[in-house]
Amino acid sequence: MTEPSEPTEATDATDATDATIVVTGATGRLGGRVARRLAERGAAQRLLVRSPERAPKLPGATAVRGGFDDHDAVVRGLAGARTVFMVSASESADRVAQHKAFVEAAVEAGVGHLVYVSFFGAAPDAAFTLARDHFHTEEYIRASGLTHTFLRDNLYAEIVPDLAGDDGVIRGPAGQGRAAFVSQDDIADAAATVLTRPAAHAGTTYDLTGPESLTLDEAAAILSEQLGRPVRYQPETIEEAYASRASYNAPQWQLDAWVSTYTAIATGELDGVSGAVPDLTGHPARSLTDVLRTTTRTLP
């Protein structure tokens, strides 16, 4: 086996025409994980990012510049790509418009297969407002004619510590609903499988979950054990949830997203365990305990 080439840095795709997989979001936690797994498999890849200088330096990877809102740069960055890993844009009021622009650029660039990171229970009337955005993006991809695979992730297990305030209380209108928190490492493992064998997953939607559905009481108990200090869940009404977040002076769409994360749990929309992670990765899905055992080592 020959050694993979050293990473290079480029500002446009003309310097990376041999790459057949394009990864977006490689400067972030999920996209970066996917890029590292592809590098470990010896895959040539192009990392389409806003700031190439921030992209991970990986064997066989070339960083190219292109934000979702820069049509020409995205077309250049996707040109010749066999498969593209599309991480959703940052949360914003115009997120769906950014997604549509990216899909249009992918069609123009002649992309062979688009793998989109969606959300568990994506639907036009989902309780979680951002899941509606993912539904409309999925529909746009379907209508575009692109060969596609959707990875519908449940809530990230890594965010559980962030749900608790400084006082160790998780507040929200989740009732006794459940969520099947999924590890970003498991998502990345699953994505790498799909990206390296895309034809086997064409037209498929995968629900990616952890191995168990938990109430926030149960999640708080697990977090308490891993942190070594008390964490508890305190249910709120919807009115209380908006009031307790008003001090952040966030725009209404952002407040709606925050609160509806919890109401989606309450309605049962995030409940249910899928076998997609073990099926795609060949290993059991990581539990919340598994994830926190690693991530809480770095928490104060």
pLDDT, tens only, 250-291 = 999 999 999 999 999 999 999 999 999 999 999 999 999 999
In a domain, 228, yes or no: no
In a domain, 291, yes or no: no
In a domain, 286, yes or no: no
Q: Which domain holds residue 74?
A: 8-153+184-208+272-280
DSSP string computed for 155-169:
-BGGGHHHHB-TTSE
In a domain, 261, yes or no: no
The answer on pLDDT for 143 being more than 90 is: yes
In a domain, 144, yes or no: yes
Q: What is the pLDDT of residue 13?
A: 38
Q: Which whole number is the average pLDDT over 102-112?
A: 97
pLDDT, tens only, 46-79 = 999 999 999 999 999 999 999 998 999 999 999 9
The answer on pLDDT for 2 being more than 50 is: no
Q: What is the pLDDT of residue 16?
A: 38
DSSP string computed for 38-77:
HHHTT--EEEEES-GGGS---TTEEEEE--TT-HHHHHHH
Q: Which whole number is the average pLDDT over 137-157?
A: 98
pTM of the model: 0.92
Q: How many domains does the chain have?
A: 1
In a domain, 174, yes or no: no
Q: What is the pLDDT of residue 295?
A: 80
Average pLDDT over all residues of the chain:
92
Q: Which residue type occupies 169?
A: V
Q: Which whole number is the average pLDDT over 125-133?
A: 98
CATH of the domain at 68: 3.40.50.720
- The Cα 156–Cα 188 span in angstroms is 12
Q: Would strands 45-49 and 61-65 be described as parallel, antiparallel, or unpaired? A: parallel
Burial class, 220, CB count within 10 angstroms (exposed 0-12 / middle 13-18 / buried 19+): buried
- The Cα 257–Cα 49 span in angstroms is 25
In a domain, 179, yes or no: no
Share of the chain above pLDDT 70, in %: 92
Q: What is the pLDDT of residue 19?
A: 56
Q: What is the pLDDT of residue 15?
A: 38
3-state secondary structure 198-225: HHHHCCCEEEECCCCCECHHHHHHHHHH
pLDDT, tens only, 209-260 = 999 999 999 999 999 999 999 999 999 999 999 999 999 999 999 999 999 9
- Confidence at 198, pLDDT banded by 50, 70, 90: very high
